C-alpha cells in the first residue's frame, strides 16, 4: 500500500510500515529524525496524492485536555484550538480509503466525535501509561500485542527541557509495529 504518515518527524510509524514492504512516507514541518522517505512541509500539499492509507498525528498542543485550561487565561489559545480542530477535521475527511488519527484525550472527543479506541503503551510492550485515542476510518481496532507490567506515568513526570514536547509526542515503537502488522 501507499501510506502517508502525517505529522511525523520521528520515522517510527513510517519505518514500521516500510519494514513490512509498504511504500510509506512521513510528512512534517520538521525534518525527519532518521533517514527515510519524508516530505518536509505542510501535509496539505500532498494530502490528495492518491494514498491508500493515512495515519495522522496532528499536534496536540491546543487539543489535549492537559493544555485546554490555558484557553481561559490566554484568549489567543482558544483561536489556536479552533484552528487545530479544523486541521483535524480536514485530516479525518481526507479522500483516503483508510485513516487512523491519533491524539491524547482532549477536545476532539467532545467537538468532533468520540474516539473509536483508546490504547496504552503497556498493551504493546512498554511499561508506560499514556492514553492515546484513535479515530478510525475503515480500519479495525488494534489488538494488544504484548501486555507488560511496570505501568508508570513517566511522560507526565518529564522535567522541563527544550525537547520535552518532542519526547512526549513520539509514537511508541510497539504501537507503531502493531499498526503496521494489523493494518498493513
pLDDT in tens, 74-103: 777 777 778 999 999 999 999 999 999 999
Question: Three-state DSSP class for 24?
Answer: strand
Q: By the 8 A CB rule, do 106 and 114 touch?
A: no
**Cα angle for residues 51, 52, 56 (degrees, 5° grid):** 70
Domain ranges of the chain: 2-183
Closest CA to 14 of 45, 40, 36: 36
Residue 157's pLDDT band, with cuts at 50, 70 and 90, is low
Whether the full predicted model's pTM is greater than 0.85, yes or no, is yes
Question: What is the third-level CATH fold of 2-183?
Answer: Rossmann fold (3.40.50)
Spatial distance between the Cα atoms of 125 and 179, rounded to a whole number of angstroms: 14
Closest CA to 36 of 7, 10, 59, 56: 10
What's the gap between Cα 139 and its chain centre?
Answer: 15
The grid coordinates of residue 102 equal 491519533
Radius of gyration, alpha carbons of the chain? 16
Amino acid at each position: 500500500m501507499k501510506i502517508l504518515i502525517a505529522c511525523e518527524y520521528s520515522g517510527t510509524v513510517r519505518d514500521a510500515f516500510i519494514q513490512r514492504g509498504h511504500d510509506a512516507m512521513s510528512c512534517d514541518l520538521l525534518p525527519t529524525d532518521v533517514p527515510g522517505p519524508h516530505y518536509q512541509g505542510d501535509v496539505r500539499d500532498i494530502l490528495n496524492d492518491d494514498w491508500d492509507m493515512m495515519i495522522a498525528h496532528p499536534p496536540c498542543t491546543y487539543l489535549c485536555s492537559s493544555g485546554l485550561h490555558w484557553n481561559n487565561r490566554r484568549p489567543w489559545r482558544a483561536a489556536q484550538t479552533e484552528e487545530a480542530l479544523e486541521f483535524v477535521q480536514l485530516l479525518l475527511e481526507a479522500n483516503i480509503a483508510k485513516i487512523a488519527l491519533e491524539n491524547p484525550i482532549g477536545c476532539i472527543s467532545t467537538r468532533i466525535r468520540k474516539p473509536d479506541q483508546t490504547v496504552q503503551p503497556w498493551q504493546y510492550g512498554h511499561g508506560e501509561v499514556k492514553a492515546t485515542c484513535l479515530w478510525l476510518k475503515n480500519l479495525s481496532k488494534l489488538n494488544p500485542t504484548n501486555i507488560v507490567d511496570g505501568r508508570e506515568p513517566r511522560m507526565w513526570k518529564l522535567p522541563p527541557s527544550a525537547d520535552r514536547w518532542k519526547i512526549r509526542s513520539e509514537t511508541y515503537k510497539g504501537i507503531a509495529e502493531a499498526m503496521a502488522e494489523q493494518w498493513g
